[in-house]
Amino acid sequence: MSENLDEDISSLFQRLLPFVVSALLITIFYMPLGLFSLNGIRPMVGVACVYFWLQHRPDIFNLWSVFCLGLWDDILSASPLGSCIFGMLLMYMLVNLTSRFFNAKPFIVLWYGFMLLLLVTMFGKWLLISVYYSRFLPLSMLCFGYMITIAIYPLLSLLLAFIQNKLMKD
């Protein structure tokens, strides 16, 4: 009985870990520490986490996790409510469409894949918010945000891979 309970708790922990870690990282990147922003722009950590977990643990990081993570990001952000959810769902859709191609590929291929999918995701979100405000948002800030997110992805995936290897079972 006790063993079953332990197993249940352990299984729940495993299932929740990617979501909790991602939500925590999103939160940390919103902190006013002056460490995570460059020229006032912060990386889109949420989308990067979604990409990583969908590539590595699609079995436990499902559609609902993506939606809840988007909602969490939306609450913290001042961008229109629902836009972060849209961005993450778009990334989810793109990863699912390209999963055959990126499956079991080395990191460098996954990084290139992230560059490509993030470009589509950010452009989609940019277009949606531009329609929402009925005016185009500055592309310069979008490009800058894109580059920062791309640059931080290897570090982020290193951290997430460490968590995956140390705390999660196959």
Q: Which residues bind another protein (CB under 8 A)?
A: 24, 27-28, 30-35, 37, 39-42, 44, 63, 67, 70, 72, 74-83, 85-86, 89, 92-93, 122, 125-126, 128-129, 132-133, 135, 137-138, 140-142, 144-145
Which are the contacts of 95, defined by CB distance < 8 A and separation ≥ 6?
Answer: 50, 51, 54, 55, 102, 117
Residue 41: beta bridge partners?
38
Q: For another protein, which is the closer residue by CB, 133 or 162?
A: 133
Sign, CA dihedral 67-72-75-80, equals negative
How far apart (Å, rounded) are the C-alpha atoms in residues 32 and 44?
A: 16
User: Exposed/middle/buried for 88, CB within 10 Å: 0-12, 13-18, 19+?
Assistant: buried
3-state DSSP call for residue 154? Answer: helix
> 109 vs 151, which CB is nearer to another protein?
151
Closer CB to another protein, residue 48 or residue 89?
Answer: 89
- What are the backbone angles phi and psi of residue 37, rounded to the nearest 5°? -115, 145
**Nearest approach, Cβ of 127 to another protein (angstroms)?**
12
Output the smallest distance, CB 59 to another protein, in A.
14
Q: Are 128 and 83 in contact, with CB atoms under 8 Å apart?
A: yes
Q: How far apart are CA 72 and CA 19, in angstroms?
A: 11
* Least distance from another protein to the Cβ atom of residue 108, Å: 27
Q: How far is the CB of 107 from another protein (least distance, A)?
A: 26
Q: Which is nearer to another protein, 14 or 37 (CB)?
A: 37
Smallest gap from residue 140 Cβ to another protein (A): 7
Which of 15/42 has CB closer to another protein? 42
